[in-house]
Structure 1
Amino acid sequence: MFGKAGTGMLTNMILALALVATSVAAALIALLLVSVLRSRQQPRPRIADTAPALEPTVFLFDDRTLVDATAPAWALLQATPVRGDEWSRLSAFLAPRFENFEARMGRLAEEVVIELAGSGDAPLRLRAEYHEGLARITLSDLTSEGQAVLVDGMSQRALEDEVTSLRKAVDSAPILVWREDARGDIVWANRAYLLQSGALEAEDELTWPLPALFEAAPDAKADPTVRRARIERNGKAPLWFDCHSLPAADGSLHYALPADTAVSAEISLREFVQTLTKTFAELPIGLAIFDRQRQLQLFNPALIDLTTLGADFLSARPTLFAFLDRLRDARMMPEPKDYSSWRQKMAELEKAAASGRFEETWALPSGQTYRVTGRPHPEGAVAFLIEDISSEVSLTRRFRSELELSQAVIDAMDEAIAVFSTAGVLILSNRGYAHLWGTDPGTTLGEVGIGEAMKTWEAQGNPDPVWAEARDFVTEIGPRASWEANAGLRDGRSVACRFVPLAGGATLAGFRAIGEAPARRDAPASRAGTAGQKARAAAV
């Protein structure tokens, strides 16, 4: 259909089109390779480079009423732990971070524009502008200016939960916690401190600046010890606290633990010790109390008088062995034979006193006599009581001497004497009584009553109603009259008996042996037994 010329032209056209297509494809492939190579050579853009700028923190106030705020501003107010209106919450956050914040903001209408720079590890910058009755406050974080900060949602949530938990823990603490800056101004406090100081006038109202409850604390770095402080209250007992101060960044952190119970216990203990001291001061007995380390902790004035040890020596709280050594040097204790045995004895004395078994009588070279008693006390303490019993010993010796003299007097009497108590117990007899009746009541271990004495009389004498009358007379209660009678003995002699009532219901029985048995000299009524005794009692 087409001639040879047409066929040649068609072939040339096809070849030209093929050449053009090949060139275009090669160009496209070259462009693609160049693009891939450039993409590998150039760094990929960072997320921070493509992130949008952070929204500023801006507040718009009409006096104390918040008119508008940006999202970060609302988030800041929500994160503030203080309750109240928006201005109170913002002031609680900004006042610790900007010096004279309240005073400067009070002059905003006059100055129109105020710029404040904060201090600390994360300083803030504040710009306040006044226009047509409205105050625009802008906050900037100087540490993050020009940077974009991205935090993933889970990390932000974890941080917020931790902050919320810590805030609740601190606000719920039953102790007072507050923080002071380098100038000593209180920049933060927990709820317990706010309530105690009255800074929370109502549930939702907070006054600023925060009042100081305690006097200025010492430098926490120089003096980290605990100090006792109190809060005075009108018409009420003061509140006591143990204050702990710790150094912190740009200031100090303080904790006040309630100490009312401890102070009350200390006051009670002090009053108790004062009462004991006054009581011990009036005691004539010397008192020395040694603690578990055997150091003198308490003594009274009587100890100074009895031991002649100086008050300066006792006030120095000597040990027990130093105390005993000083007593030995002052010759206020028995002189030992040798020092080593004396030390051993003192060690045994200390052990015996600790177990409550020590009691000794010290005869001093001066002629005085001391009774020393050791008593254990709680917590391993030991108390020693030193009592001057010289007068008591002297009285006992004099009484014993008088008894011996009285016994010698009645032993020298020819008449046999026996004295019976109100209960009818033989309490005194002489040598003549033992010789007459053949028995010595003084050698008998047990008591000798009127019944046993009557049996002795009857065994040595003839049957006679005198013995029964004597028994009834000794045990009779009430007014009595003296009477006499004679009775015969088995050896043929007779004995003259007399019975005399003594003071206190006692009775004296006297017997005198007679060589020949005389007639009875007592009244007939005396031989009438009990009836005769009652008649004599009635006569008295």
Structure 2
Amino acid sequence: MTTLLAVVLVLIAFLVAFATLLALGLVGRWRASGLRQTVLTERGTITFLFENETLVDVTTSARDLLATAPKRGSDWSRLSGLLEPRFPGLDDWIFELADLGEMERQSNDETSLLHAEWHDGIARITLSSLGVGDNTAATDQYTVAALNRELETLRAATERTPFPIWEEDEGGAVTWCNSAYLDLLSDLHDNAGHGWPPTRIFDIPDTDGDDFGSQTARVAVSAAGDESRHWFEVHVQPNGSGRLCTATPTDDLVKAETSLNEFVTTLSKTFAALPIGIAIFNRSRELAMFNPALVDLMTLPVDFLISKPTLASFLDRLREMQMMPEPKDYKSWRQRVSDLVAEARNGTYEDKWTLPGGQTYRVTGRPHPDGAVAFLFEDISTEIELARKHRAEIETAQATLDAMPAAVAVFSTAGVLTLSNAQYATIWASGGAGDLTDLSIYDSIEHWRNASAPSGVWDEIRATVGHAGVREPCKANITLLDGRALTCRVAPLPRGFTLIEFAQLRLNDGTAEVPEDVALQRGDNRLLGVGS
């Protein structure tokens, strides 16, 4: 019995709650419907129904008024912008409508009344005219106010624009202009005056014979008696039977373009006059630029280069014309091309091409912006020939020195051994000094002193080498520890260099002279002048 009673109570509570919710919904719908019915009965008034900022219903007069507002933003922002000039602070005022339920206020000129009501999330806004029976007059007032406000904005925008704006009729006469146009006219023509219509400043060239089509032209104007020109970018748009024009100053742009053109011209002339052949390949490895020297050096047809060949085709043509070293096989050739491109992109490619005709080219690869690569071809045949000739002369001079019977050594001002012959190494290497070319003059003197009998010539040599004043040649005999007698001759050379020569002493019969004490030890009577 208790369980049954509980179930009955729950059912009753559920039915009561459901009935309450249904009644509330019907009341809210009835109120909203009542507002809509009110709007229907007030079709001659200016009435708006808003749910939040969305317009849900409107009278015909209100719709006509709202149509004059700019087509941007929400419905409420459009209406608020339209009414704001005559109802300042409208957004802040309407914010309290949900709490107060009903509000109204007069316009700042006391000619209109704004009435607002709030019912369950629906705002009813009614605009009426005070003392005027027909609301059409109120609609016209707000339409005119909106148009005046837009006109003021447009006028302020054109007057404050820093560049000239003007309108021309079919005959090219100026029918309207802004202050910037008049200021420019005054700067160009001091006696232009303030008459109307103002003088036409810009002579806009025709485009394809269409006088009143959309066009853009760069026009230069000059002041009277002034040779300098001021450049403008003039934009023309059709406007009714005339056209609306704007002129943007481009003096800085023209100067930059002129400087760029002059730089490109100078660069092109320099590029064309270079004796080094240049070939630039773009990201797609097509020939994008070359200079006349490339044609002269590589003997390639101009029409072939103009056709923008790929790098592979370019190198194939060079190989066919024997203007590059012949590869061993085609596979190695393709690999060489791939390596060449990779190294050029990294800026590390440099090679010397010895051609079958005897020429020698230095080829260098360099990276360029946007993935391009440049190859430089330089004829170094003369340089290589001079280097070979110089090398041969050096080898001949060294061979001549090596053929001399005397030991020769040349020291620089700083005392560095710069030149010596084979006989010098033969005579003095026996002292255990190792590589004699690494010894300075001071180390060499110590080595000579240790390998010979005491002599004062070593101090004379030390004083002569590197001396900045006038130097005199000197000559002295020395004796090596092994008994050989040498003549040491010191001769000054140009630029502070010094020649030191060691020559063996000879008897009349051509044999080497040996000192007396050494001869006694050997028992050589002939050397002592004693008969056999």
Normalised by the length of structure 1, the TM-score is 0.60
Q: 1:186 to 1:289 in 2, by over 3 A?
A: farther
One-letter code aligned to 2:514: A
Q: Trace 1:1-12 onto structure 2 (pairs within 5 A).
A: none
**Residue of 276, 279, 285 corresponding to 1:285:** 276
1:449 aligned residue = 440
Give the secondary-structure state (helix, strand or coil) at the position aligned to 1:486: strand
CA positional deviation for 1:268: 0.6
1:161 aligned residue = 149
CA positional deviation for 1:208: 1.7
Question: CA separation in 2, counterparts of 1:218 and 1:441?
Answer: 96
Q: 1:244 to 1:441 in 2, by over 3 A?
A: farther
Q: Trace 1:153-302 onto structure 2 (pairs within 5 A).
A: 153-181=141-169, 186-197=174-185, 205-208=194-197, 211=200, 213-218=202-207, 226-234=216-224, 235-290=226-281, 296=287, 298-302=289-293
1:517 aligns with 2:506: no
One-letter code aligned to 2:470: P
Q: Trace 1:37-116 onto structure 2 (pairs within 5 A).
A: none
Question: Structure 2 stretches of 5 or more lacking a match?
Answer: 1-41, 46-135, 506-511, 517-532
Give the secondary-structure state (helix, strand or coil) at the position aligned to 1:438: helix
1:422 aligns with 2:413: yes
In 1, are the aligned partners of 2:215 and 2:237 still within 8 Å (CA)? no
Q: Trace 1:372-383 onto structure 2 (pairs within 5 A).
A: 372-377=363-368, 382-383=373-374
Higher deviation after alignment, 387-396 or 153-162? 153-162
Q: 1:392 to 1:419 in 2, by over 3 A?
A: same
1:371 aligns with 2:362: yes
Question: CA separation in 2, counterparts of 1:432 and 1:165?
Answer: 105
Q: Deviations over 1:231-270 (max 9, x none)?
A: 2444232122223344454454433322211111111111
Q: 1:261 to 1:445 in 2, by over 3 A?
A: farther
In 2, are the aligned partners of 1:201 and 1:207 still within 8 Å (CA)? no
CA positional deviation for 1:424: 1.6
CA positional deviation for 1:294: 5.2
Q: Deviations over 1:116-135 (max 9, x none)?
A: xxxxxxxxxxxxxxxxxxxx
Question: CA separation in 1, counterparts of 2:488 and 2:204?
Answer: 97
1:484 aligned residue = 475
In 1, are the aligned partners of 2:212 and 2:243 still within 8 Å (CA)? no
Question: CA separation in 1, counterparts of 2:342 and 2:149?
Answer: 64
One-letter code aligned to 2:152: T
1:404 aligns with 2:395: yes
In 1, are the aligned partners of 2:204 and 2:217 still within 8 Å (CA)? no
Normalised by the length of structure 2, the TM-score is 0.61
Higher deviation after alignment, 448-457 or 197-206? 197-206
CA positional deviation for 1:200: 10
Q: 1:464 to 1:45 in 2, by over 3 A?
A: closer
Question: CA separation in 1, counterparts of 2:473 and 2:427?
Answer: 22
Give the secondary-structure state (helix, strand or coil) at the position aligned to 2:465: helix
CA positional deviation for 1:369: 1.2
CA positional deviation for 1:518: 4.7
The percent of aligned pairs where both chains have the same amino acid is: 45
Give the secondary-structure state (helix, strand or coil) at the position aligned to 1:490: coil
CA positional deviation for 1:377: 4.6
1:360 aligned residue = 351
Q: 1:289 to 1:419 in 2, by over 3 A?
A: same
CA positional deviation for 1:314: 4.3
Question: CA separation in 1, counterparts of 2:323 and 2:213?
Answer: 49
CA positional deviation for 1:307: 2.2
Q: Deviations over 1:376-402 (max 9, x none)?
A: 455555443322111111000011011
Question: CA separation in 1, counterparts of 2:249 and 2:473?
Answer: 83
Question: Structure 1 stretches of 5 or more lacking a match?
Answer: 1-43, 48-147, 520-540
Q: 1:363 to 1:216 in 2, by over 3 A?
A: same
Q: 1:324 to 1:226 in 2, by over 3 A?
A: farther
In 2, are the aligned partners of 1:197 and 1:213 still within 8 Å (CA)? no
Question: CA separation in 2, counterparts of 1:394 and 1:416?
Answer: 32
CA positional deviation for 1:444: 4.4
Give the secondary-structure state (helix, strand or coil) at the position aligned to 2:458: helix
RMSD: 3.9
1:466 aligns with 2:454: no
One-letter code aligned to 1:517: V
In 2, are the aligned partners of 1:417 and 1:508 still within 8 Å (CA)? yes
Give the secondary-structure state (helix, strand or coil) at the position aligned to 2:347: coil
Give the secondary-structure state (helix, strand or coil) at the position aligned to 1:424: coil
One-letter code aligned to 1:230: A
One-letter code aligned to 1:398: K
In 2, are the aligned partners of 1:194 and 1:200 still within 8 Å (CA)? no
CA positional deviation for 1:368: 1.0
Question: CA separation in 1, counterparts of 2:464 and 2:143?
Answer: 113
CA positional deviation for 1:406: 1.3
One-letter code aligned to 1:228: R
CA positional deviation for 1:510: 1.6
Q: Deviations over 1:422-443 (max 9, x none)?
A: 2221111111111111269999
Q: Name the larger-Rg structure.
A: 1
Question: CA separation in 1, counterparts of 2:215 and 2:303?
Answer: 32
Q: 1:439 to 1:278 in 2, by over 3 A?
A: farther
Question: CA separation in 1, counterparts of 2:350 and 2:232?
Answer: 47
How many residues in Structure 1 have an aligned counterpart in Structure 2?
A: 377
One-letter code aligned to 2:162: P
Question: CA separation in 1, counterparts of 2:169 and 2:433?
Answer: 95
